[in-house]
Amino acid sequence: MLNRAWMVWCLVIIQCLCGAYFLWEILASILGLPSVPLRWSLRELVEAGASIGLILGAFLGVRLAFVAQNATNRADTARRITSGEFTTVVDGYLVDLGLTSAETEVAWFVLKGMSLAEIADLRQTRIGTVKAQCTAIYKKAGVTGKSQLFSQLVEDILL
């Protein structure tokens, strides 16, 4: 519904027209102004339109609140990344994946583009251990390899 601006504007126009009619009726009765006489069937239609407009407006308001919250979260993440908190954002992402501290360290090396042999040398472990840790990282991230992990990280953080 948010992608179709004309629907939103139609809803707003219906609400405004019905609200204006009801406001005029109230002011007319208070101030003794001439009232706009409507047949009962037309008045029922106006009241039903106003009720539907109010309900749809409430749903639209809730939907817009969720969209605004998501946009705020994305903007906050982008601000944190551009303000030098990139490592904090990535660390938070890796924590959300449920990685152990060893897996997190290996994941950082993988994201930096290091080979399994280089990671094993840096961590003073065997390549088999690093392979097993990479397999666990990929499984927790729901990917099959290094490039997919990096792509998913970028997509999830920036989008």
Alpha carbon 145 to its chain centroid, in Å, reads 27
Query: What global pTM score does this model have?
Result: 0.51
Whole-angstrom distance, CA of residue 10 vs CA of residue 81 = 40
Whole-angstrom distance, CA of residue 87 vs CA of residue 80 = 10
DSSP single-letter state for residue 112? T
| Interval 47-98: pLDDT, tens | 887 788 778 878 888 888 888 888 888 888 777 767 677 788 888 888 889 9
Coil, strand or helix at 115: coil
| Interval 103-143: pLDDT, tens | 999 999 998 889 999 999 889 999 999 999 999 999 999 99
